[in-house]
Structure 1
Amino acid sequence: MVYLRIGRIGILSLSVVALSGCLPWLGKEQPKAVSPQVQASAAQAKAAAARVASLAAAAKARANELGQIPVLMYHRIVEKPATVDDLTPKQFRTEMVRLAAEGYVPITAAEYATGRINIPAGKHPVVLTFDDSSPSQLTLDGMGVPKADTAVGILLDVGRRHPGFRPVGTFYVTRDMFGVSTPEEQAQMITWLRNNGFDVGNHTRDHHNLRGRDKKDVLAQVAAGHKLITDLVKEATPVTLALPYGNQPDKADWARKGSSGSVNYDYGGVFLAGYNPAPSPYSKDYNAVGIPRIRSGAKAGDCVRFCSGAWLDWLKANPDKRYTSDGDVKTVAYPKFKAPFMAKRYDKQALAY
């Protein structure tokens, strides 16, 4: 009997040892659960520390994301300019090199209008827009390589030579699309632009002046341009519109939102023709139905005050007026005293230092 009892004890002891191996906590004090209150306090402390770091980074960059942004307007890039809107390839390259040297990083019109400005700290956004879809803006060879002296060819080359200068822009197309006529060729052009980081916007199909037209006609003109693009490449739905000749219809909002036939459009921004820098999309001054652009040109003749040469000089001389990034796309950073200019819809992203 004693033997059997001892045997059972031995078997039981072995079982306990085996069980202990499977359950490491057996015989030890179990860890105490962290209360939700402690977890919440830790999360708050972590968020507070992250905010302090973000404020320090914004102050170091002298961020001003309520500042002004140059939206530059281009047309043809040709060796022999025929109008005041034309530039030579050399003039266009010179302006791109200047932008790179002065810390500008191109963004698309869609990124600007929707408030998705993602550029490094201390840099300044610039929006490059190209009207009328001229072959001088983009011509591709049989292998899909842009011609060197077109706007796109020059942009890509400047980007290669100046790391950090993002070679992108927005092309406002009409039915005369880069000099190609078949739907297949036109789809090729739009697809190439999208695949290479560029943006395609609506300039109406026929480039008719919208001023003085009735609502039905305005909506039909805008919708036709929208359909022109989406029929070619469905995924290329335009986010912005550039008004032909910069002229608004009798009611500005007709150009921003409407429908005609089976086509509906609702744009983040509608661009005018040349005049002055545009407000930050995070500012109270931002007006989605009338975004100003600046015509490219040196400080001469009628460009002495209101073309790109003059305005870039002014922004350089007045850096406190210019948009400067904090490097964080999730925040809108600015000096505290500029708070009255902040649009309320961005309050949750505000970072005032």
Structure 2
Amino acid sequence: MRWGDSMGLLGVGRVGVAVAAAGAVLAGCMPWQGEEPQDKKDTGVAAAAKASAAAAGQAALLKARLATAAKVHANELGQIPVLMYHRVVDKPTTQDDRTPQQFRAELERLAKEDYVPITAAEYVTGRIDIPAGRHPVVLTFDDSSPSQFDLDGMGAPKPQTAVAILQEVAQRHPGFRPVATFYVTRDMFGKTTPEEQAQMLVWLRDKGFDIGNHTRDHKSLRGKPEKQVSSEVAAGHRLITELLNTNPVTLALPYGNQPNQKEWGRKGVFGEISYDYGGVFLAGYTPAMSPFSKKFDPVGIPRIRSMDKTGDCAKFCSTAWLDWLKANADERYTSDGDAKTVAFPKFKAPFVVKRYTDRVLAY
């Protein structure tokens, strides 16, 4: 039920009264010129009673939903961790690499702390449908490495790839959705033919995964003219649509570098290719804002690099930020369990984006 529904339902009672009154006026115009027939009286009373019962039922439902939101301390204006991964390999060679053991341990932590994965597309469009009391997390993978995803001869994810590990953790933790967003480039998981590349993307899409644009050639967009920025983004867009026949919803900037005008990456045209994304992702360093909050910036959505508390990651990578969100639970996005509402404590009302005000459930 949407927040405004109760007002509409209360209006139903007034409609019932108006209908009854209209019936009385019409009765005076009828040939019998007397008291309204009993069967018509009964019909009017029944309609009014039905409307009143419906309004009472809706009011009770609203009360129950408010109670649920308050019980779980719902805060759907809170912060959401968007985690950034690259390769998942046994022997890391860069600061962006994670071992299969490290990746698995982080997923286990997320599951135990009541996080539920959603895709980047679901996040930016506000389609966050997770159980009450749970917290969304967006898992993103850049550069389409074979260590992230590959298939064996039977069409199953190869062991120790990121997708296989994610599915294994999800099997052990019911409710932990095995979904993520892959920001692909021309490398396309090491596949070289269009048929192989399409096979990979179709498998991911059919399993609920999300495919995002990372540009075809992974060149920095910083300092380039608008036409060149549009060319780079459009080439990545075409790469996906020709293989998958599905438009990507989000873009992850190569190296996290924004163009001179941030909007160039989100929306543009080059040749016959046009793109208009719901969100553009950076490469660090903080949790992201709820899409329902006025603080949400669709052209500069931060991500968090997956890493332990070492060096510059002592404060700004995944372990540190997950610790912070756990210690500051009132700052974290917590669901009320109803995807049709935006629930939060009443004092946060000034921060709701205007287009979502008809979904507000403030307690």
Q: Which residue of 2 aligns with 1:140?
A: 151
Distance 1:41 1:247 in 2: 58
Partner of 2:324: 314
1:272 corresponding residue in structure 2: 282
Runs of 4+ in 1 over 6 A off after TM superposition: none
Gapped regions of structure 1 (runs ≥ 5): 1-28
Identify the residue that residue 335 of structure 2 maps to in structure 1.
325
Cα deviation digits, residues 28-76 of structure 1 (max 9, x gap): x757324776655444333222211110111111101011000000000
- Aligned counterpart for 1:212 among listed residues 223, 228, 251: 223
Aligned to 1:242: 252
Match of 1:198 in 2: 209
Distance in 2 (CA, whole Å) between partners of 1:38 and 1:240 is 50
- In structure 2, what is the Cα distance between the partners aligned to 1:263 and 1:230? 10
**Aligned AA for 2:196?**
E
Corresponding residue number in structure 1 for 2:273 = 263
1:46 aligned partner, one-letter code: G
1:65 aligns with 2:76: yes
Partner of 2:26: none
Deviates more, 1:38-47 or 1:249-258: 38-47
Aligned to 1:299: 309
**Distance of aligned partners of 1:219 and 1:334 in 2 relative to their CA distance in 1, 3 Å threshold:** same
- Identify which of 229, 239, 244 aligns with 1:228: 239
Q: Which of residues 175, 178, 184 is equivalent to 2:186?
A: 175
Q: 1:246, CA displacement in angstroms?
A: 0.2
- For residues 221-251 of structure 1, the C-alpha deviation after alignment (integer angstroms, 9 at most, x for no partner) is 11110110000111x2100000000011000
2:275 aligned partner, one-letter code: Y
Secondary structure (helix, strand or coil) at the match of 1:231 reads: helix
Q: What amino acid sits opposite 2:254 in the alignment?
A: P
Amino acid at match of 1:249: P
How big is the shift at 1:208? Answer: 0.7
Taking structure 1 as reference, are residues 200 and 34 closer, same or farther at Cα in structure 2, changes over 3 Å only? farther
Matched, 1:159 2:170: yes
Q: Is 1:105 paired with 2:116?
A: yes
In the alignment, the residues of structure 1 paired with residue 284 and residue 154 of structure 2 have an alpha-carbon distance, to the nearest angstrom, of 35
Q: Does 1:289 align with 2:299?
A: yes
Residue 253 of structure 1 pairs with residue 263 of structure 2: yes
- TM-score, structure 1 length as denominator? 0.89
1:43, 1:221 → 2: CA distance? 56
| Whole-Å separation in 2 of the counterparts to 1:267 and 1:295 | 22
Cα distance in structure 1, aligned partners of 2:215 and 2:99: 26
- Does 1:116 find its partner at 2:127? yes
Matched, 1:87 2:98: yes
Q: Any idea what SS the aligned residue of 2:315 has?
A: coil
Secondary structure in 1 aligned to 2:220? coil
- Letter paired with 1:191: V
Percent identity over the alignment is 69
Secondary structure of the residue aligned to 1:49 is helix
Give the match's secondary structure for 1:73: strand
Partner of 2:136: 125
Q: C-alpha separation between the residues in 2 aligned to 1:161 and 1:72? A: 21
Moved more, 332-341 or 289-298: 332-341
Deviation per residue, 1:287-312 (Å, 9 max, x gap): 10000000000001121000000000
**Alpha-carbon distance in 2 for matches of 1:144, 1:329:** 33
Stretches of structure 2 that go unaligned for 5 or more consecutive residues are 1-37
Report the CA distance between 1:331 and its aligned residue: 0.2
